[in-house]
Amino acid sequence: MEYLYAQDNLSLGQMAARWVAREILACPNLVLGLPTGSTPIGMYQHLTRLAQEGLISFAQARTFNLDEYVGLTADHPQSYAFFMREHFWSKVDLPKGNGDIPRGDVSDLAAECRRYDDAIQSVGGIEVQILGLGPNGHIGFNEPSHNMEIHTHVVDLTAETIQANTRFFPGSEAVPRQAITMGVGSIMRAQRILLLVSGESKRDILTKTLYGPVSTAVPASILQLHTDLTVLTDIKI
């Protein structure tokens, strides 16, 4: 595991963008797994700047997002599809259709999960995966549970996650109760993983993730088993 320390959230965003920029420069047709949440916003801003200055290009890249809320259309302001359009897809030269995300508004969710896994497989799997860390140790929306799902699946969000994400909605009642998420299989099969963690409130869960027992109670702890994990954080542990 490589541990990179950022002074603050601002420099975390810059460092994450430089890390991704190196990957895309080395491999222009990179298959990149992408997160949402507040932590990666700075990374997207800096990547956008680098792309707009012509220093990097996503013209040949493919991207796959980790997750999406069930029941929200892609134009709902709190959907992750909307987030991605706002922060990345509409700002860089990634061709339309090269950025994929599970659709949470379809009637056949099981078919959508299969479609998503097939789409990832069709390009040979995720090469570089960027992750955030949920306050309860989730990655994507792989929540603490008694088991771990390998494939893309529908998940019931925990009360803690609903509470944590209420800040983005008018109230907790408006937060979707389910999501579609990439499974830990697609994440762990990535050749390289960058885990972004920002803010003192995540100190305990980051410590459990990196140094606690590998357990389904802290899904991110499985990252200890990955052979090429970089942790970029502004928390000194």
Supply the residues annotated as catalytic. Answer: 67, 136, 138, 143
144 binds ligand GLP (CB under 6 A): no
Nearer to ligand GLP, 24 or 220 (CB): 220
**Structure tokens, 180:** 């579609």
Q: Which stretch binds ligand GLP (CB under 6 A): 49-57, 122-130, 131-139, 182-190?
A: 131-139
Q: Which of 140, 144, 183, 219 binds ligand GLP (CB under 6 A)?
A: 140
Minimum distance, C-beta of residue 134 to ligand GLP, in the bound complex (Å): 4
Residues binding ligand GLP: number (CB under 6 A): 14
104 binds ligand GLP (CB under 6 A): no
Minimum distance, C-beta of residue 13 to ligand GLP, in the bound complex (Å): 12
CA dist 219 and 206 (Å) reads 11
Tell the residue number behind the tokens 């932590």, with chain if given.
39
Tell the residue number behind the tokens 């008018």, with chain if given.
170
R_g of the chain, CA atoms, integer Å: 16
Residues 32-71 that bind ligand GLP (CB under 6 A): 35-39, 66-67
Burial class (CB in 10 A: 0-12, 13-18, 19+), 7: exposed
132 binds ligand GLP (CB under 6 A): yes
CA dist 30 and 146 (Å) reads 34
CA dist 15 and 1 (Å) reads 17
CA dist 157 and 175 (Å) reads 10
Minimum distance, C-beta of residue 38 to ligand GLP, in the bound complex (Å): 4
CA dist 154 and 182 (Å) reads 9
Q: Which of 102, 134, 137, 183 binds ligand GLP (CB under 6 A)?
A: 134
Residue type, 22: R
Q: Which stretch binds ligand GLP (CB under 6 A): 56-64, 70-78, 81-89, 132-140?
A: 132-140
Catalog residues that contact ligand GLP under the rule CB under 6 A.
Answer: 35-39, 66-67, 132-134, 140-141, 161, 165
